[in-house]
Structure formats: C-alpha cells, structure tokens
Amino acid sequence: MNASLTMGPAWADFKNAVEAAQVHGESLRLIEAAGLQVDLSAQPQSEALDRSGLALLEQQGFAQARGALFDGGLANWTERRAALHTALRAAEPPPAVARAILGERERLRAFVAQADSAQSYRYVLHLGIGGSDWGPRMVIRALRHRGLKREIHFASNVDSHSVADALTHLDPHQTLVIIASKSFTTTEPLANAEVAMNWLRAAGVADPVRQVVAITANTDAALDFGISPQHVFRFWDWVGGRYSLWSAIGLPIALTLGCEAFDALLAGAAAMDQHFAQAAPEHNAPVQMALTGLANRSVRGFDSLAIAPYDSRLEHLVPWAQQLEMESLGKVATADGTPVGVPTGPAVWGMPGTDCQHTFFQWLHQDSLGAPVDFILSARPDHDYAQHHQLLIANCLAQRAALLRGKSYDEALRETLATESDPQRAELLARHKVHPGGRPSTLIVLPCLDPQSLGALLALYEHKVFTQGVLWGINPFDQWGVEFGKSLARNILGELNSPQRDASDQDPSTQHWIARLAGGKPSC
C-alpha cells in the first residue's frame, strides 16, 4: 500500500521545488521514447525538482507498482484484479495469460482472413460505448488515410438518432454488426443491438444473428443473446474498458485497416511499454509527464489539461484521452479509503490545431490562469501539400512560444504606438495586449501518423495516467463513480414508463420533468 502522498517526507520538498521552479524554457529538455520526441522544455524544471521528483516516486513505491502492473499483480486493487493491457500487445505475454491472449489473437486474425478471402461484409456497424467505442473509433479515424477495406459506422449513444443515422449508410445484406461490450449489460449497445436486429429482420435477412459478432468478457451473456460461439470474441476482467483497444475490441481496426496495421499498432505500444519499463525515471517520458502533471495540478492549481493535436485526423484523440484520464484519475479515495488531500485528475479537453487557435486559445493566452497544453505534431504529413504542413508546424510552435514567452506591457505599448497616434489610447490598448507568459506546455512529435507511432502515443498516455495514479495513491483502473447515475436512471425510467405511480422521492425538478416528459409527451 502506498504511503499517503502528502504525509510522506518527499511531498514537502517536491511542493517547494515546484513553487520555486520557473517555466522559462531556457534549456532544451527532450526525451526520445519509442520513436516519439517528448519536449518538456516549457514545463517547470530545476535540479531541485528533478531530485524531489525521484524521491516522490520512491516514497510512493512507483518501481514496485510498475513491476506489479507488468507482472499481473493486483494493480486494480479495489476490484482485486490485474490490469494487463500491456500483455495484450506483448510479443511474449506473461505465461499465466499467454495462452488465452495468443489464442484469441489468432481467432481474431482467422476471422478477418476468412472475411477478406470471402469478401464478406462490405460494411461494419459498431455498437459499443466508452472504452468499447473510443479506442477503435479514434484509431480508425486517425489512420483511415491509409485506406479502409470496409466502410464502418459507429453508433454509441442510446439516442437513436445515432444508430438510425448509421443505418442509412448501410446495406443490411452486406453488414457485419459488432456488439462490443465488456460487461454485455450496458444499456446503450444492447438497446442499439435491438434496433440493428430489427433492421436486419425487416430487410429480409434470413438468419440475422449470423451477421453479428460480440466482443465481451461476459461470453455467457453473448451466447444467451443468440450469438454463435464462433462469433464471440473475448477479453478478460483483467483488461480495463478504457485500456482494451489492444484486445479483441480491436477487431474493427483489423477488419477496416487490416491485421498488419493492427499488429503495427500493438508493436508501437509495446515499444513504449519497453521504454516505460526500462528507462531511468529522469529519462522516462511517461514518468516525467506524470510528475509534470502532478506539479501543474496538485501544486500550481491548474484545474484542467488541454490537448491540442495539430492533425485533424486525431480529432477523436481528445475524447479518448478524456475517458482514459478522467475515468482513471477523477477520484480522491486512496487504498485505505482516506482522501488524497490535494487536487487529483484534471479535466481534460481540447481540439485539433489550428481549429483550437480560433476557438479557445484566447483563453489560454490571457485568462487569469489558463491551462497546461499538450501539443501533438507529426514531423511528416501524409499529403502532398508541403507548404500547408509548414504552416501547421509554424502555428503549433508559435502558439507554444507565445504561451511561454508572453508579451510585457512595454512590448505591447511599443507595438501599439507604431499604429496608434493617441498616446492615451495606445496605453489603454496596450493593457489589453499583455500576455502573462510562463504558461506550461509539452510538445510530443511523432515521425508521422502511422500505426506504430499512434500505438506508442496511446501507450505513453496510458502509462502517464498509471504513474499519476501511483503518485496520488488512487486506483486508475476502477470506476465506481459511474454506477450511481446508472441506478438512478433505472428508477427514473420506471417512473417515466408509469407516471401514474405515487409521487416519487425525486427532487421537485426531477418530479416535474418526469411528469412533463413521460411517455414522450410533447413538452415544448
């Protein structure tokens, strides 16, 4: 069990070192990891900070926790489970799980090979949500420029507009329906599966269930649904949902991008695993990103983290990272139940650049506090417009520099006097043009956006999140906070379906809307 973060001796030194460190960017601080370049030059840095960070890792038992993660120890200690997403992409998984992993990996490849040789399933309808959706959705969006073997549509929301819209693009006689759900009890995919089955029947598909596969850890439920055993692909309780794209949850990736691309994705993540497992802490990219995140969140008081991938193909990286970071780190209870005592997981948000510059960079530059930014950039584009890529790079580097350097009042006044003849007006305008500067950012540079570099990038974030969980002493692999809302929804659904029931114990507003919206009454 980790020591409490703030009760240990290392915390005070770390806190003092962070408060004393400046974000000046005067020295290049670059870490090469699994083909990625991670530039931490625009983050707080000092020798005292380096030393205290190492002491904090020691105090929190990081090395032991990392070893347990890779070896199948109880990394998910509230659910008494391992968290072996690293085993899913290992060339040689740990012996205890090797047979299961390699066997399912082989089943997945055989299914794809058979579908390819028979030229089956021109279309794929993917029904999943959260970790059973964001991973495949994000990877396929990021890499579809490499060509897709099949057209895929994702429907995750229980709002039937989502699945209805997807169905309009599909031919029921050439569509494979994937029901991806670790528990196989989640409302959304099962509700959407009912719509999809009715859609297949209505189109005259003789045996609809033959066009359905399930990807789940609850194989009994999938078989009870009527799916044939050959079409049930499994993963396990020791794989967290938001860490599961490396498992059979990656089937849609293989069906659309091909098994080679999926293998390269796994290889990229495995390369980052090796870096994370072997690099000394001071040269370990996930570890240093984790310490930086701890400094910015728990000491400097930034409430959020902005992620700006300067590549429109990474538009789903932000929601994927939101679930990974916020569902893993939005907690306060430590292993003995006591609260951490400092702010933990930041709110994660963002948008691809350069769109983000025209959306919220005003706030990042001149808000009273702003937020740290992770900039992500590919060195090489996958298009022929070289000048456009230079423009993209120039904008990414410029935004980082502006956040770091800032603009003083004197600089703003000199700039304004060049065009404003009225000195009083110039002085007033200059006040509005001051940029505080010293705003932290990390730059992650990929050689290009290919499966290998994407796999490494995703694993980088997974290991950063894990390390922050260890530092804060919280469990990054459970999600007790998502159950309460689900149980209330079941109660409210019951009241919506039978409004004549006695007055509920809901709050007045909820009662009002149950009465007004029950049975789909037109309420507006």
Closest CA relative to residue 160, chosen from 201, 194, 132: 194
State both tokens at 326. Answer: 């916020």
How far is CA 269 from each of CA 42, 253, 263, 459, rounded to the nearest angstrom?
26, 15, 10, 5
Minimal distance in Å, beta carbon 242 to ligand F6P? 5
- How far apart are the C-alpha atoms of 369 and 373, rounded to whole Å? 12
Q: Is 327 a catalytic residue?
A: yes
Instruction: Say which DSSP state 2 is in.
Output: P
Instruction: Say which DSSP state 435 is in.
Output: B
- The answer to whether 392 touches 310, Cβ cutoff 8 Å, is yes
Q: Is 283 a catalytic residue?
A: no
Q: How far is CA 297 from the centre of its chain?
A: 18
- The answer to whether 122 touches 171, Cβ cutoff 8 Å, is yes
Q: Is 358 a catalytic residue?
A: yes
> Which of 60, 216 has the CB closer to ligand F6P?
216
> Which of 72, 241 has the CB closer to ligand F6P?
241
SS3 content of the chain, % helix, strand, coil (to 5): 55, 10, 35
State both tokens at 296. Answer: 């910015």
- How far apart are the C-alpha atoms of 232 and 222, rounded to whole Å? 7
Minimal distance in Å, beta carbon 481 to ligand F6P? 9
Q: Which residues lie closer than 8 Å to 457 by C-beta, 6 or more apart?
A: 36, 268, 272, 376, 444, 446
Catalytic residue among 327, 389, 462, 464: 327
How far is CA 259 from each of CA 135, 152, 249, 453, 518, rounded to the nearest angstrom?
16, 16, 13, 16, 47
> Which of 450, 478 has the CB closer to ligand F6P?
478
Minimal distance in Å, beta carbon 226 to ligand F6P? 18
> Residues in the site for ligand F6P, rule: CB under 6 A?
129-132, 181-183, 186, 189, 241-242, 327, 479, 482
> Which of 183, 366 has the CB closer to ligand F6P?
183
Instruction: Say which DSSP state 407 is in.
Output: B
Minimal distance in Å, beta carbon 446 to ligand F6P? 26
Minimal distance in Å, beta carbon 178 to ligand F6P? 12
Minimal distance in Å, beta carbon 483 to ligand F6P? 8
Q: Which residues are catalytic?
A: 327, 358, 486
